[in-house]
A and B are shown apart, each in its own frame.
Chain A
Amino acid sequence: MLPRARKVQKVPFVELYAGRLQGVVSSGSDEERVYVSYFEAGTGNFYCSTNNNRPCGGLRGSPCKHLIELINEGVLQYGPARVVAYLGLQQAEPDKVKSGAELVRFIKGGPHKVEAGMVFSRFLTYLQYVSVAPTGVPLPDMAWFVR
């Protein structure tokens, strides 16, 4: 179970994956537009762009509002301890963290472009799970997954 339930309206997708906290953030103004954002573990580098690889206008040396929303939702989804450990933010004290935004000051990297497609295709994979037909066949191996 996740530490806390979160709503997916603003940030439909967030994950800790391949050494990044990454995800997709809905544009505040345009329903159809989404931003693809990430923080990298270790280096602390980050980036934000539209899914068509257009850089986010809010990104000027420091994380934009989409990145802040991303880390806020990441902390809701995974809990501060996991996000802090995954990103390797040694100075942060997870017990005292109330929202993800408080973690931004421990992130020491700068803007560093990655292809939005990499993260966006993860979002499509994510959505694929909710599109697979449910089933009534026996799945005995689920005996291993108890929570």
Chain B
Amino acid sequence: MSLTDLKSVPEPVVQTAELIGHLDEVFESGFGRLSSANLQTLASLAASFAGTPLAEPLDAAIAGLGRSEFVDRHFAAIAAARAAAHGAMHDALVAQASVALGRPRAELEALADTPGQAAPPRAAVLLESVRQWLMELAIAGFANLEVGALLPFQATLDAIMAEPALVRHAALLSGFLDELLTVFPAHGKPEVPRLRWADLWTRSMVLSLAPPTPAATREVKGELRVFATDLRQHDHVVSLVAFGALHEAGKPARVVRTQVSAFKVDVLQGDDLAGLLNEVGGKLLEAIAGGQGLKISGMLLHATGDLVWQEARAEVLPAKLKLAEEAAAVLTSPTALRPSARPEDRHPAVVEELVWLPGDGYAAVGKEARELSLGGQPFPLAFERWPSSDDLLAADLAGSKGLVALLRFDGGRWSLQPVMIDKGKPVPRMIGTGLQAVRGKAKGGNLATLKERAGKLLRKKS
């Protein structure tokens, strides 16, 4: 295995990124006033999809937008094309990483369709409102947004939050709206994170094209051994992602990913996160803090290797595990199944290839932890992803005995994000190990105060 082979980026990835970069200029200035350069960009986008199922709707969309026909199917076609271009980049990058790591790429598990509950009719109406709002953003252009055009969406978002079938939409859209409102109203010329907002716009549009349908899953029974974690959050959602080895009877161990998330407000952070996540994943936090396994029975596993976390179907096991050994074994096995992404979710930003680096394979460089030395060769660390938590510090790298990292592609280059560092102690260093201990401290804190207010006021309102 040689991560250092990842110094160059495949040529098609570079070209696609360039095409998307030009498309995003249109998002910044707005589809409402297309310049001749914009029209040329849209034409080359269409040309790159010639002969694919997207060619026809895309041609129609570009012709229509050129005539100022602002209808949502045109914007849906643009979103689908942009997402497909990122999907192709994702696949090329995963293929490159798989060669460098000397292992087959992770595949979706073949699962029979499971009957499940369809989204209620109300969901379709709400998603239509989302598409309408997204269309207005794109017509105006990110650089020209006015706060008056952003605020009415809050009412739609409130209704989406109240609809459990749209939880994914709520998490994404609340984060997107937060960011827009942080910049607007702006004095002077606002600095627009073009690529990022076009990504969030595209994700939102693709997710809102049709009400969500139940995904195929299977019930699993066995033992989960969590060996790495990552924390993701914006002002209104916090999410703890846990990666672990799943041992099922009669099957080789595989890697799964599970995620517990809670809605929140900006003022809730630090210790309050423990209180928020405890409600949905208390046993997961307990197992992470103690370096213990979890007996699970009847939890649902998606084809992507995502385990739907259900507290009632988990039981913390008493034995302390050797998690570094566990991670090393399952991550270096060429045949162990690993998590992946659904085709419609594929994007360079969701590439997170789990790798195990043994202690003699790397060395820490400098205090700032901007890079690792891999056999004398520098390799970038995703330093902007270090969590602001004492559970996992850049200083833990020095003298460590091995680590688990997510191999990521961000800002046009590969980097490693350490998500577990083995210091030779029973419980490895990873984010979330400290959360269980502060669960009790949350009492009387901000979370308790706001919950109490909510209990009184929201009951009064309804």
Interface residues in chain A, defined as those with a beta carbon under 8 Å from any beta carbon in chain B: 1-2, 5-9, 12, 17-19, 41, 77, 85, 88, 123-147
Contacts and interface: CB of A to CB of B under 8 A. Distances in A.
B170 to A, nearest CB: 7
Contact of B158 (A6, A125, A136): A125
Contacts of A1: 269, 388
Contact of B263 (A12, A132, A144, A147): A132
Contact of A141 (B158, B168, B385): B168
Given A137-B308, A144-B199, 4 more contacts: A129-B174, A131-B454, A139-B171, A139-B259
A138 B446 contact: no
Contacts of B266: 2, 77
Interface residues of B, number: 75
A145 B176 CA distance: 10
Given A139-B261, A143-B349, A133 B449 contact: no
A137 B166 CA distance: 11
B267 A143 contact: no
Contacts of B269: 1-2, 5
Contacts of A8: 267, 446, 449-450
B310 A136 contact: yes
Contact of B232 (A5, A18, A145): A145
A129 B264 contact: yes
Given A12-B450, A124-B457, A126-B265, A132 B170 contact: yes
Contact of B265 (A9, A129, A133): A129
Secondary structure type dominating chain A contacts: loop
Given A125-B154, A127-B453, A146-B232, A141 B203 contact: yes
What are the 3 tightest A-B residue pairs by CB atom distance, in nearest-first order? Answer: A136-B309, A134-B280, A134-B262
Contacts of A130: 263-265, 268, 447, 450-451, 454
A104 B396 CA distance: 45
Contact of B187 (A17, A88, A123, A135): A88
B147 A18 contact: yes
26 contacts: A2-B267, A8-B446, A8-B449, A9-B449, A18-B185, A19-B147, A88-B187, A128-B162, A129-B161, A130-B265, A130-B268, A132-B161, A136-B260, A136-B261, A136-B280, A136-B308, A137-B259, A141-B168, A141-B203, A142-B175, A143-B232, A144-B175, A145-B234, A146-B384, A146-B385, A147-B234
B297 to A, nearest CB: 15
B161 A128 contact: yes
Given A128-B158, A137-B167, A146-B384, A7 B446 contact: yes
Contacts of B257: 138
Contact of A138 (B162, B187, B259): B259
Contacts of B345: 140-141
Contacts of A137: 167-168, 259, 261, 308
The interface centre, meaning the residue of A88, A127, A136 with most chain B CB atoms within 10 A of its CB, is A136
A142 B449 contact: no
B211 interface: no
B384 A135 contact: no
Contacts of A134: 260-263, 276-277, 279-281
The interface centre, meaning the residue of B175, B239, B241, B451 with most chain A CB atoms within 10 A of its CB, is B239
Contacts of A128: 158, 161-162, 454, 458
B421 to A, nearest CB: 18
B418 to A, nearest CB: 14
Contact of B164 (A5, A41, A133, A146): A133
A12 B450 CA distance: 7
A131 B203 CA distance: 25
